[in-house]
Structure 1
Amino acid sequence: MLLGEYEHTLDTKGRLAMPAKLREALGNKFIITKGLDGCLFVYDLEQWQQLEAKLAALPMSRKTARDFTRFLFGGACEGECDKQGRVLLPANLRRHANLTKDAVIVGVGNRAEIWDAQKWQEYNEGNADDVNELAEQLADLGI
């Protein structure tokens, strides 16, 4: 399980240090792709394969299925940390998440998310009031 919030800085080559706890959970190789809300999603290979199977089962006759599959797979790459624990984030993924310098890596259960630090702060400030409402909605679902 991926948990926690970690602040790191991208170097000039677009490399980001992955926290040791998350590296252990993700394994030697993992998948990085465009995420929702303007961040990047990071999956271990097992979680990625499960997601891949679910998407493969969707009817390709539905435009939403085709669009989301293109979005997720078209932006995906295999990540691997170097000896210093850094992963190279390709330019297209850095652009998607507006990553230039300061980043926040967040463990959210079955995946990690990589956010531009300013955008993460804005997201949290903008959703502070929504958390109580969201909790009420989830309570209705038995969570």
Structure 2
Amino acid sequence: MFMGEYRHNVDEKGRMIIPAKFREELGETFVVTRGLDRCLFVYPQVEWKKLEESLKNLPFTKKDARAFTRFFFSGATECELDKQGRVNIASPLREFAQLKKECVVIGVSNRVEIWSKELWEEYFAESEESFSEIAENIVDFDL
């Protein structure tokens, strides 16, 4: 399971260190794709296969299903870490997530998310204020 928040930089070649705690679980190859809220989603192959199966079962006759699967799969790239534990993030993905230099890498259960520092801080500040309300609306168990 992925959890925690880490700060790293993207270098001029688009490479970023993946936190050591995430590397083993990500495996030799993993998938980086556009995520929601202008971040990138990073999936180990096992989780990517599960997601792929779920998305394949969406009805292609539905406009929203086609749009979502196009968005999600067209941005997907299979990646691997170099010897220094860095991933090379493709330019279109960096542009989508507005990754310039400072990034935040967070663990979110079955995936990793990569955020620009600015977008993460903005998102977190907005979400922090409504966390109790969000929890009340979606969580059906005691924390």
Whether these two folds match at TM > 0.5 is: yes
Residues 67-86 of structure 1: pairs in structure 2 closer than 5 A? 67-86=67-86
- Residue 50 of structure 1 is matched in structure 2 by 50
What stretches of structure 1 of length at least 5 have no aligned partner?
none
Structure 1 residue 43, shift from structure 2 partner: 0.3
Structure 1 residue 142, shift from structure 2 partner: 3.9
- Residue 31 of structure 2 is matched in structure 1 by 31
Identity across aligned pairs (percent)? 49
Residues 1-143 of structure 1: pairs in structure 2 closer than 5 A? 1-139=1-139, 141-142=140-141
Give the 3-state SS of the residue equivalent to 2:43 in structure 1: strand
Q: Which aligned segments of 4 or more residues in structure 1 are displaced greater than 2 angstroms?
A: none
- Return the letter of the residue paired with 1:32: V
Structure 1 residue 11, shift from structure 2 partner: 0.6
In the aligned structure 2, how far is the partner of 1:11 from the partner of 1:142? 42
Alpha-carbon RMSD: 0.9
Give the 3-state SS of the residue equivalent to 1:127 in structure 2: helix
In the aligned structure 2, how far is the partner of 1:64 from the partner of 1:125? 29
Structure 1 residue 123, shift from structure 2 partner: 0.8
In the aligned structure 1, how far is the partner of 2:6 from the partner of 2:24? 15
What stretches of structure 2 of length at least 5 have no aligned partner?
none
Give the 3-state SS of the residue equivalent to 2:104 in structure 1: strand
